[in-house]
Copies of this chain bind each other. A is one copy, B any other.
Amino acid sequence: MEEKEISQAVIGRLPRYFRYLSELKYAGIERVSSQELSDIMKVTASQIRQDFNNFGGFGQQGYGYNVEFLHNEIGKILGLDRTHHLIIIGAGNLGQALANYVNFERRGFLFRGLFDNNSELHGKKIWGIEVQPMENMEVFVKENNIDIAVLTIPKTEAVTVAEQLVEYGIKGIWNFAHVDLNVPENIQVENVHLSDSLMKLSYNISRFESDNTK
């Protein structure tokens, strides 16, 4: 791989390209120009070409890109050609929603286990997977090659549980707990801070209104 210095901004845009290319692919479209992609995605064609040039450009020639090829290549860059084995910590509504989501999504992610410290939930099946006590986590992670843990537990527990998971050998954490985790650099963390997102929406509503009542 040669993509040494790719910014997180470019990486952040890759899933969106992948999403649009999936749609084009399933719509049976075979080729797409950067201008057409630009029109449907509402980013400039030069941004698209620049982003793609980070990965060698994906061989645009004549009339645009081959949709299936581009879709596959971006999928590979995103690591979606590998299978990730994933557990969810926290079997509440959010944990259940994410379990369903990952199951439904399929593409490279296998939902393997669900853990909760509420003993009333133990043994209950969520989307075919039994809720297990937290004490089982260590053995389960090690025996099942789990590489991703999803945290949907309160922030007071999340920090400790994240440290344990790292010790057990997890490689990435999809963090929904309302706290920034402090893990070693070799562990990848992707935060979904719902309240931050809701506050940003609130800010933009307020700003828009104050700009328009001056």
* Contacts known (A79-B205, A188-B204); A199 close to B97, Cβ less than 8 A: no
Residue numbers in B under 8 Å from A200 (CB-CB): 11-12, 14-15, 78, 190
The yes or no answer to A129 lying at the interface (CB within 8 A) is no
Q: Which of B174, B195, B208 contacts A188 (CB 8 A)?
A: B208
Among A147, A172, A199, chain B packs the most CB atoms within 10 A around the CB of A199
Residue numbers in B under 8 Å from A108 (CB-CB): 202
Residue numbers in B under 8 Å from A201 (CB-CB): 148, 172, 174, 188-190
Pairwise interchain contact A194-B78, C-beta atoms closer than 8 A: no
Residue numbers in B under 8 Å from A97 (CB-CB): 92-94, 96-97
Pairwise interchain contact A15-B79, C-beta atoms closer than 8 A: no
Pairwise interchain contact A197-B204, C-beta atoms closer than 8 A: no
Q: Which of B190, B199, B206 contacts A197 (CB 8 A)?
A: B190
- With contacts A79-B203, A101-B195, A109-B198 known, what are 15 further pairs, Cβ within 8 A? A1-B210, A15-B196, A19-B178, A77-B203, A78-B202, A78-B203, A79-B206, A94-B101, A98-B194, A102-B198, A147-B205, A172-B204, A174-B198, A188-B204, A190-B200
| Sample (27) of A-B pairs whose CB atoms are under 8 Å apart | A1-B207, A11-B203, A11-B204, A15-B195, A15-B197, A41-B180, A77-B203, A78-B199, A79-B203, A79-B206, A79-B207, A82-B206, A84-B202, A93-B100, A98-B194, A105-B195, A105-B198, A148-B201, A171-B205, A174-B197, A174-B198, A186-B208, A188-B201, A188-B204, A189-B201, A190-B200, A192-B194
